[in-house]
Structure 1
């Protein structure tokens, strides 16, 4: 099984359409994926509407589980919880927050706001996250991401160490923007093991943890009507 719950299309800063991305993911032996285009407080409803419809089509056409999600990006920390709740009520199956990576910096306090919000599924590339925030992530069932993307991956070892110390759930994602970014089974495992996880911990990050997110997401029927 191969899961990837953080990808982008040309709807934000990716290079592929939803159909092209799903087709390539299928070729890479993906089991399930989430399309999580960047959104802000002004466009998240519009982008989510499009992705909800397109994910249904892509799932059917490519015999692949394609989930519709969003990556809350550059939103003031004080607004993250409200927007996440609203996005969920409008059908978002996966909600990610663009964390405080050492590259593409966002407002200080973004990590804190994300892990305090139980509507958030994944805190993406959280950079030098603290032990306290990793514990809060555990308490609110927010997964910490190990990224295969260049530069974001610099702190994977730190994220893995802190997450394991605090019992946080860890997940491996690609943050795909073009087809070369997509995972393979071998690449995903290398990211997990290279970040310091042992075989059992890697299995959780690669299969068990994303599997639980996907199960929860599939309980929310995608909408094909207007928001």
Structure 2
């Protein structure tokens, strides 16, 4: 069964998530979070509360601490070898950053193609076709040959979303994805992202300070005192 296409398939399951600094200071403690396909979740909290750290852990950029049970698409992450975790991340996780993270000297098409270049499942031609299709889904195929410095902020972020979605990820992790955009452009970009999450039956976790973005997600949690809880009566 293609679990990515299945409704309510569990994508991430985190229990007792922890993370400490090199000096031993705790960043995350007893964090619990479960997200299924076609679900969207917002994580809010003060600057320095550990939101981006949590997002990076969910994306397998580093291991959680001892005692954590984190499962991504049923894979118990703590039992994976480093190369297997990296392979799982490359196949299933798409990252969207506030500053887009595009490489300035590459065209939009080349930026979007990057996640596929080292994939055995894609020949160079197949990667190029997939990149074109990803740009087309965002309505920006006409920007394929332009560099990031030659497009607007909204177009840059759409290119970044196309790059994140080119692998058809089962989990999308977005860190302030519209933070650098004006209100109208941010709303349009978010509309596109949510529509694509629904179409691909992906799970979406967004870190944000924006009350409007949080209100568009199905659930909102606050990271406070190093742990996660439901956000109620939130005023940014």
- Greater relative contact order (Cα < 8 A, sep 6+): 2
Taking structure 2 as the reference length, what is the TM-score of the superposition?
Answer: 0.30
Q: Which has the larger radius of gyration?
A: 2
Higher strand share: 2
* Larger helix fraction of residues: 1
